[in-house]
Amino acid sequence: MPDVNCPVNQTLLALQETIESGRLSNPRSRRIAEEIRDLLMDVAGGRAGKDHLGAIASLNEELAYDQASPGAMAAAKAVRDALGGHREVFQSHIDTHNCAAGDCVRLVPAPCQMACPAGIDVPTYVNLIGQGHDAEAVEVIRRDNPFPWVCGLVCTRPCEFMCVRGRVDKPISIKFLKAFAAERALSDRHYRNPARGPAKGRRIAVVGAGPGGMTAAYYLALKGYGVTVFEALPVAGGMMMLGIPRYRLPREVIDREVAMLEDLGVEFRFNTRYGSDITLKGLNSSGFEAVFLAIGAHQSFKLNIPGEDDFPQVIEAIDLLRRVALGDRRIPGKHAIIVGGGNVAIDAARTCLRLGTEEVTLAYRRTRAEMPADMEEVEQAVDEGIHMSFLTIPKAIRGDSGRPGRLTGLECIRAKLIRKDDSDRLFPVPVEGSDFVIEADTVVSAIGQRIDLDCLRDLKGLKWSRRQTIQANAVSMETPVPGVFAGGDAVTGPATVVEAIGAGKRAAGAIDRYLSGIPQPKMPPVPVRRSRVEWMEVPAGTKMTLRRPEMPLLNLERRRTTFQQVELGYTENVAREEARRCLRCDICLRCGKCVEVCRDMMGVDALQFGFLNFDQPGPTDFRVTADRCILCGACAANCPNDAIRIIDRGDERLLSYCGTILNRQKLERCQECGAVLGPQRYLEFLQRRTQGVSPVVVDRKLCHACARRHTARVHTENSPV
Amino acid sequence: MTFHRGQKVEIFRISEDESWGEHMNQYVGLHGIITDPDTTKNDPDALIEVSVEGKGTHRFPQDCLRLLR
C-alpha cells in the first residue's frame, strides 16, 4: 500500500491536459491521443481487457510518428515512459480491478471490503442480494472466500464494524445477508464451482482440514494444482466442525461447502496425523512439491490449580466440544462450572445446558464489562439460564473424601479489580478471607488454546515465536523451511474463521508463486474490486427509516434442550430490504467535495452527510436535502466518482446519491420552445443571483435561445438599424 | 487497557514485539476499530485484530495501540 501517486491516473491526467491545452495541432494526432485517453480511462475504471496495454502502446507509436508536433511527441514520450516504468501497475489495474494508491477512484475498495481479512467485495454482493441475484452474490463471495454459508453464520464480521452506515444508525447486517444468499443459492441448486484451470501436473499437500487449509486447497485446485488435504480427525472442518457448536453452525452447512471442494477435485485423507502418519520427507518423496501447514490450535491451557489432574470430571472445553461435535451426547454432569470468559467458555456452557446439565455456572475472574466473549453470545447464554459468577478466581478442585475421584465442587476466592501503577488495565487480585465453594460435579476449563508443537518436532528449521506459534512471513506465509508454508491459528494463535480463510488464500497465491519461480510480495494484498453493480433506487425517507432487522431466534425451550440452529435466518423480504440500506461506499469515497461545494460555493448547505467523518461522525439526514436543495447540480459536477447525479426523468429533475433520491422537483419548461429550464427553485435562485441585472423578459419563462431571440426582436423593433 | 470490540484506537507507535513487521510501519498514526480482541484469556500479551481505516484488518501487539476517547 504505497502512498505514492498512481502512474495510471497521472498518465491519464497529463494526457487529458495535453488534449485540452490545444498543443496537439494536428487533428489526426488529437484523435489518436483521445483514443489513448479512452483506453487509459478503461484501465483506470476497471473496464480494460487483456488487449488494452498492447493497443495503447501501438496507438502511442502512431502518436509519436507526428514529428511535426512537439506536443504529440512529448505526450507520446510521457505515455511510453509510464508504460515502460510502471507496466506492472497498469497490468495490476487490469487484472485485479484495484488501485493500490487509491487515485483511480473507481477501483478503490469500500471500508467494509478493506476490513474483511479475506477481502470479499461486500458492496457488490450485498447489492446483488438486494436485486435478487443470490447465486451471483455467492459467486462474488467465493472469489475470495470458499465458505460463504459458514461465514454467514459464524463470522466475527469486522466489515460491520467499519460499515459507514453504522455512523448513521446501525451497520448493514452483512453477515446474515451472506448466509441468506448462500442458503438460497444452495437450495435453488445454483451454488456452483467456478471452472478449474488447466491441470499443472504438480502436487501440493495441505496439513489440516480447517478453514485455512481448505481455503488454500480450494484456490490451489482452481489454479490447476493437484491438492491433497491430510487431516488427523475423521471429519473435515477443523475448529469450524469441532470448536463451534451445532446450534450456531449446523454440520450440514460445513458438509455442503466441503463437498464443493471435493467436487473440484481436492482429495481428503482423514485419520492421518502429521508427525506420526506423515512427515515432510515422506510427502516430498511422494511427489508433493509444497506443503501448507494449517494445523490450528487444538490444545487447551490448564487451570494449574490443585486437584486438576486428580478428577476425571475436570475436562477441557475444547475436548468437550470436540466430543459432542463427533456425536457424543452424554451429560457431562448435573452441575457444571465453566471456567473462563471467552467465546469457547460460552459455547461450552451452552453445550452443557443442551446436553441436559441441570445447572451451569460460568466462573470468570473479572466482571461482565471485561468479558472477552461476544456480547450477543453472552446475552443469549444468560437468556438460556446460564448463571454468571463474576470476580471469581478458581483456587482448588474439591473432592469427596469418602469416594476418591468424585468431584464435589470448585473452591474459589472472590476477586477485586485493581489498577496497577504502570498500566490502565484492571487486574483481578484475590480478596483475603473471601473463599467460597461452588458445588458442582463437573469443571470445564476454557481459558484458551495453543497449538500442538509436538507433531511438528521433526520439522528441522521451523522457528517458533515466543507465543509458541509457528513463525511465518505475514505476507507470503513462508516458513524458514523451503517449500513449507504456514497459516491460520498455528501462526496467529487462536483467531477467527475469516482470518484463517484470508491466510489460506494468501498462502495459495504464495505457493503458486513459489512453484512458478515468481518473487514473493513484500506487502499484504489489497482487496480486489470484483465489479461495480448498478445501485438500487431508494427514496431518502425510506433510506433513513429502514431499520436493521432483528434476527429471529429459536424459542427458549428448544434452545435449552436441543442443538437446533438458534438463529433462524432472514426471510426474503427482510433480506432484500436490508440490502437497500447500503450506502454504496464502493462508489462514494466520502471525499466531501459535494458538501463543501453546496455549502461554501453555492451557499445552499443542503447535504447533511455527517457520516463522512470517521473519527467524529455528525448527524446524517438525507431527508433534509429536499427542503433546501435547488437542484443546481454543483455537487454532481464536482463528484470525482459519479456517486451523486442529476437526472432528468419525465417532468422531474432528481438528485441521486448512490441511488438514494435526495430531491425531486418538477421541471419548468420554456414557454415558447418547451426546452427544459430546470426546477422552479433553481430558477428563483438564479433570479436572486441576477437581481442587479434588469430582466430581459418579465413573467415569462424562456430558455436562453428564445430569450435571446425575443430580446433581438425587441431591439430590432425599438431601434431599427 | 482491556480492549473491546468496536472501540476506536490509534496505532501510536512502532512496537518492539517480534510480530511487528517492517510493512506495519506505515500504519503508525492511523486510526482503526478493534474487531477481534483476545477473545479467550484477556491477555495483555495477545495480538488483537484491528481494522485500520483504509488499510485493511491486521493483528497488532497491544503496546502500540491507544484508545481514542
**Domain ranges for chain B:** 8-67
Residue from B39, B49, B59, B60 whose CB has the most chain A CBs within 10 Å, to mutate: B39
Q: Are β-strands A442-445 and A426-439 bridged in parallel, bridged antiparallel, or unpaired?
A: unpaired
Cα three-residue angle A588-A594-A597, rounded to 5 degrees = 165
What residues contact residue A417 under an 8 Å CB cut-off, 6+ apart? A366, A367, A370, A391, A426, A427, A428, A429
The three-state secondary structure class of A190 is coil
With 0-12 CB in 10 A as exposed, 13-18 as middle and 19+ as buried, what is A49?
exposed
Q: What is the DSSP letter of B5?
A: T
ipTM tops the 0.95 cut: no
Residues A427, A359 share a domain: yes
A600: Cβ contacts below 8 Å, ≥ 6 apart = none
Q: What sign has the CA pseudo-torsion A540, A542, A545, A550?
A: negative
> What angle in degrees, to the nearest 10, is found between the helix axes of A211-222 and A251-263?
30
Cβ A114–B1 below 8 Å, yes or no?
no
Q: Is some CB atom of chain A closer than 8 A to the CB atom of B15?
A: no
B6 near A CB under 8 A? yes
CA dist., res. A119 & res. A107, Å (int): 14
Predicted local confidence at residue A450, as pLDDT: 85
Take residue A91 and report the three cell numbers written for it. 497490468
Q: Clarify whether residues A383 and A442 are in a common domain.
A: yes
**pLDDT the model gives residue A299:** 83
User: Nearest-CA residue of chain B relative to A419?
Assistant: B1
Say yes or no for a CB contact (<8 Å) between B40 and A447.
Answer: yes
Mean pLDDT, each 10-residue run in order, chain A (721 residues): 72 92 88 93 86 93 84 91 87 82 81 92 95 95 94 92 93 96 93 91 95 96 95 92 92 93 95 91 94 90 88 92 92 94 93 95 91 87 95 92 84 89 77 93 90 83 88 89 93 89 94 89 79 90 95 93 94 96 92 94 93 89 94 93 91 95 93 88 86 65 82 67 55
Task: State which residues form the domain around A629.
Answer: 593-714
Q: Give me the architecture of the B8-67 domain, per CATH.
A: Roll (2.30)
CB-nearest to B39 from A343, A425, A475 is A343
Q: Do A344 and B40 touch (CB under 8 A)?
A: yes
Could you tell me if B8 lies within 8 Å of chain A, comparing CB atoms?
yes
Which residue in B42, B44, B54 is closest to A366 by CB distance?
Answer: B42
Residues A24 and A122 in one domain: no
CB contact under 8 A, B55 and A1: yes
State the DSSP H helix or E strand holding residue A247, giving kind and residue range, or none if neither.
none
Task: Please check whether residue B12 touches A, CB under 8 A.
Answer: no
Q: What are the C-alpha distances in Å from A607 to residues A60, A244, A611, A624, A643?
A: 43, 46, 11, 7, 14
| Interchain pair A493, B5: CB under 8 A | no
Q: In terms of domains, do A332 and A441 share one? A: yes
Size of interface A-B (CB pairs under 8 A): 115
Q: Cα separations (Å) of A327 from A130, A245, A317, A323?
A: 38, 11, 16, 7
Do residues A504 and A382 both lie within one domain? Answer: no
A305 & A435 share domain: yes
A351 and A391 share one domain: yes
Report the pLDDT value the prediction gives residue A2, as an integer from 0 to 100: 40
* Beta strands per DSSP E along B1-69: 8-11, 31-36, 47-52, 56-61, 65-67
Note whether A477 and A466 are within 8 A (CB): no
Yes or no: say if A337 and A411 are a contact pair by the CB < 8 Å rule: no
Residue type, A538: V
Q: Are residues B35 and A161, on separate chains, in Cβ contact within 8 Å?
A: yes
Backbone φ/ψ region at A97: left (φ over 0), alpha (ψ -120 to 50), beta:
left
In a domain, A24, yes or no: yes
Instruction: Tell me: do A442 and A306 sit in the same domain.
Output: yes
Domain annotation covers residue A522: no
CB contact under 8 A, A467 and B45: yes
Residues of A in contact with B19 (CB under 8 A): 465, 467, 474
Count of structural domains within chain A: 5
Q: Say if A128 falls within a structural domain.
A: yes
Measured between beta carbons, which residues in chain B are less than 8 angstroms from residue A522?
23
Cβ contact A575:A118 at 8 Å: no
Residue-level pLDDT at B41: 67
User: Residues A67, A118: one domain?
Assistant: no
- Give A495's contacts in chain B (Cβ within 8 Å): 36, 49, 59
Q: In chain A, which residues have their Cβ closer than 8 Å to the Cβ of B55?
A: 1, 114
Query: Is pLDDT of B2 > 80?
Result: no
**Residues A658, A604 share a domain:** yes
Element (H, E) at A710: helix A704-718
Say whether both A120 and A247 belong to one domain.
no
Cβ of A373 within 8 Å of Cβ of B49? The answer is: no
CATH code of A325's domain: 3.50.50.60
Chain B residue numbers with beta carbons less than 8 Å from the beta carbon of A466 are 18
Q: Which of B57, B65, B66, B68 to mutate to test the interface with A (most CBs of A within 10 A)?
A: B57
Integer angstrom CA distances of residue A556 from A330, A333, A337: 21, 21, 21
Q: Which of A80, A106, A132 is the last residue of a domain?
A: A106
The verdict on a CB contact (< 8 Å) between A342 and B37 is no
Same-domain status, A313 and A416: yes
Q: What is the pLDDT of residue A1?
A: 37
